[in-house]
Amino acid sequence: MTRLLTVMVLFLLVSATRVTADKPGAHQCEPQNMLLSNVSRELQVTWEVHASCASLRDQLIYELVVLVEDKPVHQEEFAVMVDHIGSTLWWSWTSFLPLECASHSVQIRSRYKNQPGPWATDTLPGLEPSAEIQVYPQDHAFEVGSRASFCCIVPLGKTFSTMFLSNYREAPSNMSMVNNHTYVLTVDLLWPTLVSDADVKCKAQMDEGGSCAVVGYRPSDSDLLCETRDFQSVQCFWTVGPQIFTHPTKYWLLEKSCNGQPKGKCSQKIKVDYGKRNWTLSARNVLGSVELVDEADLTKRVYMYAPGHMTASAVSARNVTITWTWRVQQYNRLNLTCKINLYDGTTNIQIEMSDIGLHSVVLNGLIPNWSYSAMVQCATETDFWKWSEWSESISFHTKGDIPDALDVWMHNVNHQTLIIWRLLEDHQSHGHIIDYEVTWTDLAKAEQENKISVVHPNHNVALNLSTFQKYIVKVTARNTYGSSDPSQIFISSQSQDRPEMSTLRINGTGGGFSLSWADIVTASCGYILDWYPVSGSSSVEWLKVPPSNTSATIYSKNFKDGVRYILSVYICTEEAPVLLEKREGYVKEQRIPDNMFKNMRWQQHASDVTITWDQISLKEQSAHIYGYALNCVHESTVLRFTTDDPEATSLTARKLNITSYAFTVSALTSEGECGSTTLNVNLSIQTDNLVSAIIISLGTTFTLFLLITVVCYRRWACIKQKIYPPIPEPVLTGKWLSPQVFPYCPKEELTVAVPKLHSLPRMSKDGYICQRDKLITSTKIDSFDSSLKKHILQTSSLTSTRLNVIPNPVYGLNTAENMAQFDLETECQDFKEEDSIDYHPQLKHLIYKPADTDSIMSCVSAYIEVPHSS
């Protein structure tokens, strides 16, 4: 029984073994002959798979784990296709650390239908410490933007100090330790190394080690473009990307090296056939590679060689034939277009012509007696690609010919007609000009022709032509080859200046003059503009304008700032030109220089002063004058007088003080006050004028007084009646003199029938009343009563014929010092009884006070004598 059981178990084991052998699993497909190695700084592992695994129907998976210093750092799955089973498999991985810096291990196991097999492991050890410091990687290239790790292996017994990157812009970095003798510097490389390597340095106590690093870019060339020149080669161009200075990019065109050729350009010998094909360029450097492709039919991209063997033949005055040859025979079968560049010394003229295999061209319309140079470039016309290079330049000189027709104009100056023509330029004269012939004919006498010759370089002639006749003037130029065609101009009174035509002002713009005028229907041949400076009308320039234009801008190399120009617009007709309008102005106004006012004079009229000057001539005016200003300066006081009359030659300053003044005259312009000229003047009192004024006043007063006298004499009776009618004589009654007796000194006894008042006694120095210097009484009078007053008036011994009256202010008379004296005639004889005489104690005089004010004032006013007073 035991034997039977043993046999049965053995049978089952053998059956299971056969089944497993017939159907392999993960254990049978485990990696075999595993090998781990360092290939170009990459960790590469290879292994084999048992051939029995080829019968597997499902996908076989291998799991890989990478360990650095026994620490897992990367894990990945690798799928094996059925057709790859039976061959050697490989897998590579780039470590973040140089493989020399630490031990790297790789574990691999198979997995089939989620059934994993056993792990297979292989290890690549790092370098052991040596007697010197070791830094890795050595002389390695890194791509810009990558993160690089550098390790430093310190010798045994040494202590690590520091590790850093020099000769490189500052970049983010950090330090870490792998084991007891290995340290790692990790740096973010953000910038390329342009002219030198970056240095990695490691220090351990007194020892130092290092390595170099290059930072750059992968090839980034682009825009490949290929063409052919001779159908026997291909030439390609592309845009070159950034280069690594120590490891430049290398190129291959059609798998052939481009070494020794310029950057961005490569040529290879190959026959170019019709049809498209790929033209491939490969670019590689230490960091990577790129492949550029251009798909094209190069028979449509023909970049021709320049024409060769240029010649000029059949040269005449105005024509020449240019010929050339082709270095590529296929060009003679192409439809070509060629560009001929003709240079005349100042201007390049380009002419295009087309033909099959074009190799010559005839140039017409050349300038006689002129030097030219020509060169040619060509291209295919049907499939235009690009122009060839220019050929070599060829020079030739045309033959001479008669001059071109002259440009003739006229100008009226000093009652003469100036015929003017422009001197011919070198390209117009076609040879040396000898002289000019001017002929003129009066249209009323067509059979009579006048002729004059003008030697070159003179180019004008003055003719005495009648303003009432019409003339035709012709001018021709003559050189060694003959005379030019005649240029003619009609002259008539319509071409002359008209007095009624006003001259308008114009301002220059941009170094010239811009004019516009009305469209005139009769302007059959357009318009003529002429201009000249006021200082020289013989320097006339002109411009002809087509009929369609009614505006023009004039420029001239002869224009100068601060010079006044006269501009005229003429209508061009089939006959004589007709003057349309005139203007004057400056290209640019400038300040008139100081002290421009000449012959300044002054004249005083009482307190007014008139300053006069000579008018500034037009040729001295460097700006338009809009008026004048007169500034009168005395110390800090300034008086200003102006006028807006540009033709004024004087200004008057009024109501000035009699003192010294500085009179400054200035012209008012758009540039401010210009041309200032000063005149210093001392004003004085004008006695002659004062005497004249006094004489005139006296004469006027005398005449007026005489006139009043004549009038008054004729009307004396009426005036006398109106002014002072007769005054009744005073009647004296009653006793007004006291019985007191006063001594007096009468000169003589007078008998008066009717008492009349002749004079009041005047006071003596002692206070006594006297008559005619005789003492009336020896008693001093201190006061008078009314009776005494009357008694004095009634006495017949008062024989004085003049009365000294102290004027009373009440009646409108003067002060006591200006005592009035008057005679009492019959009109003043009658005193009323109510009248009174008072004694003035201060003046020591009697004061007469009449009761009848009107009567006595009429008397006094008629006879008062007023002394002369100022």
Contact of 476 with 406, CB cutoff 8 Å: yes
Q: Which of 481, 338, 339, 464 is nearest to 398 (CA)?
A: 481
Which of 48-62, 413-427, 506-520, 789-803 has the lowest average pLDDT? 789-803
Helix (H, G, I), strand (E, B) or coil at 686: coil
Which of 156-160, 264-268, 745-749 has the lowest average pLDDT? 745-749
Q: Annotate 80-94 with b (16+ C-beta within 10 A) or e (fewer).
A: beeeebeeebeeeee
Q: Which residue has the higher pLDDT, 776 or 98?
A: 98
Q: Is the predicted pLDDT of residue 751 greater than 50, yes or no?
A: no
Per-residue pLDDT tens over the stretch 635-671: 889 999 999 999 999 999 999 999 999 999 999 999 9
Q: Which of 42-51, 432-441, 528-537 has the highest mean pLDDT?
A: 432-441
Q: Which of 16-25, 292-301, 407-416, 794-803 has the highest mean pLDDT?
A: 292-301
At residue 163, what is the residue type? M
Cis before 137? omega within 30: yes
CA pseudo-torsion sign 712, 713, 715, 719: positive
Quote the distance between the C-alpha of residue 456 and its chain's center: 45
Per-residue pLDDT tens over the stretch 814-859: 334 333 333 434 334 444 444 555 555 544 445 555 555 444 444 4
Which residues touch 174 (CB under 8 Å, ≥6 apart)?
A: 185, 186
The sheet carrying 527-533 orders its strands as: 503-507, 578-586, 564-571, 527-533, 541-545
How far is 108 from 63, CA to CA, in rounded Å? 6
How far is 568 from 782, CA to CA, in rounded Å? 110
Q: Which two tokens stand for residue 473?
A: 């003037």
Q: Which of 463, 476, 470, 577 is nearest to 529 (CA)?
A: 577
Contact of 565 with 537, CB cutoff 8 Å: no
Mean pLDDT of 774-790: 40
CB atoms near residue 121 (< 10 Å):
14
Q: Which two tokens stand for residue 271?
A: 């026959």
The secondary structure element, H or E, covering residue 863 is: helix 853-863
Mean pLDDT of 147-169: 94
Mean pLDDT of 135-155: 94
Mean pLDDT of 65-90: 88
What is the pLDDT at residue 784? 40
The pLDDT confidence band at residue 731, using thresholds 50, 70 and 90, is low
Mean pLDDT of 326-349: 95
Helix (H, G, I), strand (E, B) or coil at 833: coil
What is the pLDDT at residue 214? 95
Mean pLDDT of 719-730: 70
481-485 — which CB contacts under 8 Å span 24+ positions? 481/400, 481/401, 481/402, 481/430, 481/431, 482/402, 483/402, 483/403, 483/437, 484/402, 484/403, 484/404, 484/405, 484/406, 485/405
Residues in a beta bridge with 140: 213
How far is 451 from 539, CA to CA, in rounded Å? 24
Contact of 333 with 326, CB cutoff 8 Å: no
Helices 716-723 and 687-714: angle between axes, nearest 10 degrees: 90
CA-to-CA separations, 7 to 3, 13, 19, 478, 664, in angstroms, rounded: 6, 10, 19, 144, 153
Going by their DSSP bridges, the two strands 371-380 and 394-397 should be labelled as antiparallel
Mean pLDDT of the chain: 82
> Which ranges in 715-756 belong to alpha helices (H)?
716-723
Per-residue pLDDT tens over the stretch 568-625: 999 999 888 999 999 999 999 999 999 999 999 999 998 899 999 999 998 899 999 9
Per-residue pLDDT tens over the stretch 4-31: 455 454 455 444 444 344 445 556 688 8
At residue 334, what is the residue type? L
CA pseudo-torsion sign 329, 330, 336, 341: negative
pTM: 0.56
Q: Which two tokens stand for residue 676?
A: 């200032």
Per-residue pLDDT tens over the stretch 603-614: 999 889 999 999
Contact of 99 with 124, CB cutoff 8 Å: yes
Contact of 762 with 775, CB cutoff 8 Å: no
How far is 636 from 250, CA to CA, in rounded Å? 90
Mean pLDDT of 686-704: 76
Q: Which two tokens stand for residue 521?
A: 């229907």
Mean pLDDT of 325-341: 95
Contact of 20 with 55, CB cutoff 8 Å: no
Contact of 742 with 776, CB cutoff 8 Å: yes
At residue 113, what is the residue type? K
What is the pLDDT at residue 667? 95
Quote the distance between the C-alpha of residue 549 and its chain's center: 30
The pLDDT confidence band at residue 396, using thresholds 50, 70 and 90, is very high
What is the pLDDT at residue 445? 84
The pLDDT confidence band at residue 338, using thresholds 50, 70 and 90, is very high
Q: Which of 785, 847, 845 is nearest to 811 (CA)?
A: 847
Per-residue pLDDT tens over the stretch 418-470: 999 999 998 899 999 999 999 999 988 877 889 999 999 999 999 998 888 89
Cis before 457? omega within 30: yes
How far is 555 from 678, CA to CA, in rounded Å? 39
Per-residue pLDDT tens over the stretch 480-529: 999 999 999 999 877 777 777 888 999 998 899 999 999 999 898 999 99
Residue labelled with tokens 């048992």: 50
What is the pLDDT at residue 788? 42
What is the pLDDT at residue 831? 44
Helix (H, G, I), strand (E, B) or coil at 82: helix
Contact of 386 with 300, CB cutoff 8 Å: no
What is the pLDDT at residue 733? 52
Q: Which of 599, 609, 600 is nearest to 684 (CA)?
A: 609
What is the pLDDT at residue 64? 95
